[in-house]
Amino acid sequence: LIHFSSKLRSQKEYLLYAGCILFDIVFGLTYSVAAVYRFFLSWNNTYFPLFTTYQCILTPHIILFVYITPGAGVLVFLCSLDRLFGVFFPIKYMKMTTHYVIILFAVTFTIPLLMLIAGIITSSRAN
């Protein structure tokens, strides 16, 4: 709804809610993908096959877990800073545009991506 309404898109608070909802969707998708993977393991009676660390980190649900775990902390921290800024500097906060929220979520979704890349690189060197 926020995406389709230009009036709602122009308010940074609604964009902040939309970003949190998007992050929650990715969080739920992570557990759904892990459940499907584990269901097929038990269905085929393979249980948990032995993988190298590099093979393990490249499975889809592990990629999502490595991405989402630090991302949750970064999202809560940046939303807290946003609320703190809104309380202590209300006039400056009211004058800010939606570009502020876009930058906030770009940082929120980029930091875990960097950690994921670092995890893949270090796990490939371990083997």
CB-based burial, 109-127: b 16+ in 10 Å, e otherwise: bebbeebbeebeeebeeee
Query: SS3 sequence, 55-109?
Result: HHHCCHHHHHHHHHHHHHHHHHHHHHHHHHHHHHCHHHHHHCCCHHHHHHHHHHH
- Model-wide pTM > 0.85: no
pLDDT of residue 40: 85
How do the domains of the chain map onto residue ranges? 6-126
pLDDT of residue 73: 87
Q: pLDDT means per 10 residues in the chain (127 residues)?
A: 55 78 88 89 76 86 89 87 89 85 86 91 80
pLDDT of residue 32: 92
pLDDT of residue 117: 92
